[in-house]
Amino acid sequence: NAGVTQTPKFQVLKTGQSMTLQCAQDMNHNSMYWYRQDPGMGLRLIYYSASEGTTDKGEVPNGYNVSRLNKREFSLRLESAAPSQTSVYFCASRREEGNTEAFFGQGTRLTVV
């Protein structure tokens, strides 16, 4: 049981380049999330998908887009990377919204130069 799988684990981009972070979960969870984690800022929600076919903005959505490709997969796209997007990105899933636990991937460390 792999849980939540993110790819890639590390990435270096030049300013203005684009890339897509991939996330897949094998737990048949309805809800999926993308967070960024920065020193001193904690985990901040970028986008979430409460269920297949829906996506919504979180706390810090600017500069990002998402796609809930199917129930398993939720991707995060940076169209034109900026140094301010240097961060560690985590994908998470939950069985549903509400008092259920979140399962996190191992993270993607992104550096934009």
Residues near another protein (CB under 8 A): 4, 31, 33, 35, 40-45, 48, 50, 56, 58, 90, 92, 96-99, 101-107
What is residue 50's DSSP assignment? S
Closest separation between CB of residue 34 and another protein, Å?
A: 11
Measured from the CB of residue 16, what is the shortest distance to another protein in angstroms? 28
In whole angstroms, the minimum distance from the beta carbon of 30 to another protein comes to 11
Of 89, 105, 88, 87, which Cα lies nearest the Cα of 29? 105
Select 4 or 112, whichever has its Cβ closest to another protein: 4
Integer Cα distance of 27 and 91 in angstroms: 14
- Least distance from C-beta 104 to another protein, angstroms? 3
Residues in the chain: 113
Sheet of 74-78, strands arranged across: 4-7, 19-25, 74-78, 64-68
CB of 38 or CB of 79, closer to another protein:
38
- Given the complex with another protein, which of 17 and 95 has the nearer CB atom? 95
- Choose between 48 and 64: whose C-beta lies nearer to another protein: 48
DSSP string, 66-99: EEE-SSSBEEEEESS--GGG-EEEEEEEESSSSS
